[in-house]
Structure 1
């Protein structure tokens, strides 16, 4: 009876000297199977396209190869008699993976086997297994050498301020070093929101809110698609925004700390290094509310109030959604008497116009000066690094690399240091939402800055510079919008 075969083809982007595609591998192995007189079910042609046999998952310590595991399952269940690969490095570059296949083969008493076209992986007897182990160790070292060379090349590029290649980073042209003015302004706008003291608080600005504002304004992401919370976070966490070049060993998404900085970029920083480490600290904080609640989409919802003390929110006017109004939201238990309403568009326009006037006149006095000599950016960067260390310690515990007593001892030590730094940060003044208006001296300049802000930032500024109270209009009388509202500027502190 003819043997039943399965074939496993693989190509990895980690192996830069690979030229044969998986289609060529499959064609060659089909011929090999046919020459042996074996049968081949199309369902048993397993292809690992763009899959590394060397990289391991940090959480499991093993490679992520579903098709390889399926091939082993076919041998284990005797669904096939022989697994065919092109070469040992197509089957495994990690000795642990090879041993999985060897265990199945030897456990069957060589009733099932694995063969390669090159002869480097003949798991048909003890001698073949010995050779395969040696060849796999050599393939593993080759991958390690390649990884080391690539890592060093990346480090050299970072030290020289060169672009390491890949997809175009948002804010920069295809060469990775030439800033695009409009996009760098968007990054600055996003950063200013994260720097607000209310960022991440209930009903306050959030990453999701930033993404929503960008979508509403029709601003595309780097690939032309829509902004999402993860894409906003990824862009804001890039050290290149602060003109910093970094290098850190390992693969996958990384969070960088001050210790990973190896050079400065040849372009002007979009945010200062101190601001960047504040942003990293906020976005890396595990205690940050990732879902702080839906922030209001309208400029004055939850800010303007009715004389009864309740806030107003947007609703329809007599069921007409094409003319939204701000209306008192005191609920069934609200105080008796008339309650206030105002057309949303007209009130927003009035408030925004007045905000521009106030900012042009008083911004310098309203912006709270930095207090003390504490380097807040440095402290937040240190907190981010400590939190990353604590998270890595947790992964080590989950993988069994650290026992529970040692984990608790080290975690407590890290937490004590984190809390100490956070106490120091508590004494540092928060970033003012008016910071973008520093140096603004004319209404035209203030209006230009205002128009570049998102709704979330505008709301925080309005909270900081004025109070807004609507007036009941009364029956049968429709006064102008300026007669339906009392706006009191908040005076600068002396």
Structure 2
């Protein structure tokens, strides 16, 4: 009977390479090559998954998958790995290799001794080892999950992937933190996720052609170029994840949500926030706004009053139509003259010396007052719960107190979000010269936010038979 030559494959894997130098898989390689050499086997391929976990069944292991395909193609008939748990931690995958050993005579060798899958004793050993490894990983996962919950409850920085702007220990990285701050401000001011991602990546996105023109998005000028750790361009979905992260406002988080204590009070993190509460709340409101069409290219307004000025007849928002503002069936007005009038009013309002103090301090004081009231309502629920447990009040009374307090908490939270409007434009409002800052701003979204913060603009139809612009047809109401 002819001797079938042994063509061996080697599979190497570590779950986490802390240094990125591949030293662990190199040690595995040396041991596995020595085993193949001692048996006189010819090594036809070495498959390496460095820093790839085998615990999750949905985790992609590129080299493992390539090895499976090569085995099916008959490229090798022996497999060398450092240990069975390096090959797989999934009992289902192990059964595939057992079937291969039984039906096709695959030889499988580990650095700690031969795992003879062609015998019932060897298969039992392999299955027990895989089950024990799986159970240990599940226990480890449960311990880690409990540790994450405990850290979040105490307001400690979360472990795992480092958040842009912070070290793993919660220290601020100045350059990244400045970029994060500008990302929040730009989005709160009206910039789109796609435009922010393009600005961070240092590219200019081209919007789909409109008629015979190609429209190019206005990028937020304040957002700096910031290379990603992977070297790939920024993605709008990554920007969304960043904007949703309460950690940047100084709140402890777990699974993307703010952690609250037994009284329902948000837990403050043991690190410095990068953005104020007001900006973070403003961003959440804009992300949740159903009117924001975040899934379309070029959603940013390209004209000052489009979607901002209102029709004086039906109160609908006017839209840009060529060089005019239009409300179907009611009016068609020249954009340039109206915009000049609105800008003149805004500059006059910005020139008033008390503007910044009036807008910023008033909101901040009220937000602080609301925070105190929220705490009182939550404390009221805690006291009522304690009284109920001590049988000082009955269940109906406790339920009534809790319902009243929760309703007031909801009202206060809504007011707090409303007061956050406009805090993101404080760079303009608190500048030494708000007028100069407004004039120098190249960010159309920021200008629109300032206008919306200061006034309400309604357009009326132009008088019949008159070609000259009539300023009485533009009604600007201060806010």
TM-score grouping bracket, smaller chain normalisation:
0.5 to 0.7
User: Secondary structure of the residue that 2:56 maps to in structure 1?
Assistant: coil
User: Aligned ranges for residues 46-445 of structure 1 at < 5 Å?
Assistant: 46-57=47-58, 63-106=59-102, 108=103, 110-119=104-113, 121-155=115-149, 157-159=151-153, 161-164=155-158, 169-172=163-166, 176-178=170-172, 180=174, 187=180, 190-191=183-184, 206-211=192-197, 215-217=219-221, 218-221=223-226, 223=228, 228-247=235-254, 254-258=255-259, 263-270=267-274, 283=287, 289-291=293-295, 294-301=299-306, 303=308, 327-328=323-324, 340=334, 342=336, 350=344, 353-354=347-348, 356-357=350-351, 360-361=354-355, 364=358, 428=414, 431=418, 433-435=421-423, 444=432
8 Å CA contact retained: 1:189, 1:453: no
8 Å CA contact retained: 2:342, 2:476: no
8 Å CA contact retained: 1:13, 1:50: yes
Aligned to 1:491: 478
How big is each residue's C-alpha offset from its partner over 1:392-425, in whole Å with a ceiling of 9 and x where there is no partner? xxxxxxxxxxxxxxxxxxxxxxxxxxxxx9xx78
Cα 1:259/1:66, change in 2 over 3 Å:
farther
Alignment partner of 1:35 is 2:76: no
Deviation at 1:86, TM superposition (A): 1.5
Aligned to 2:445: 456
2:8 to 5, 8, 24: 5
8 Å CA contact retained: 2:152, 2:259: no
Task: Name the count of aligned residue pairs.
Answer: 412
Cα 1:243/1:128, change in 2 over 3 Å:
same
Cα 1:99/1:454, change in 2 over 3 Å:
farther
Q: Which stretches in structure 1 are left out of the alignment for 5+ residues? A: 58-62, 197-203, 248-253, 316-326, 379-420
Deviation at 1:219, TM superposition (A): 1.4
8 Å CA contact retained: 1:307, 1:340: no
What is the TM-score normalised by the length of structure 1?
0.60
8 Å CA contact retained: 2:157, 2:168: no
User: Secondary structure of the residue that 2:37 maps to in structure 1?
Assistant: helix
CA–CA distance in structure 2, aligned partners of residues 139 and 162 of structure 1: 31
Deviation at 1:91, TM superposition (A): 0.8
CA–CA distance in structure 1, aligned partners of residues 242 and 87 of structure 2: 37
User: Secondary structure of the residue that 2:418 maps to in structure 1?
Assistant: coil
Q: Which stretches in structure 2 are left out of the alignment for 5+ residues? A: 201-218, 376-406
How big is each residue's C-alpha offset from its partner over 1:277-311, in whole Å with a ceiling of 9 and x where there is no partner? 78568757999743256222444456579999996
Deviates more, 1:273-282 or 1:295-304: 273-282
User: Secondary structure of the residue that 2:445 maps to in structure 1?
Assistant: helix
CA–CA distance in structure 2, aligned partners of residues 269 and 21 of structure 1: 38
Cα 1:361/1:47, change in 2 over 3 Å:
closer
CA–CA distance in structure 2, aligned partners of residues 263 and 235 of structure 1: 19
Deviation at 1:88, TM superposition (A): 1.0
Deviation at 1:232, TM superposition (A): 2.0
CA–CA distance in structure 2, aligned partners of residues 115 and 466 of structure 1: 77
Deviation at 1:52, TM superposition (A): 0.7
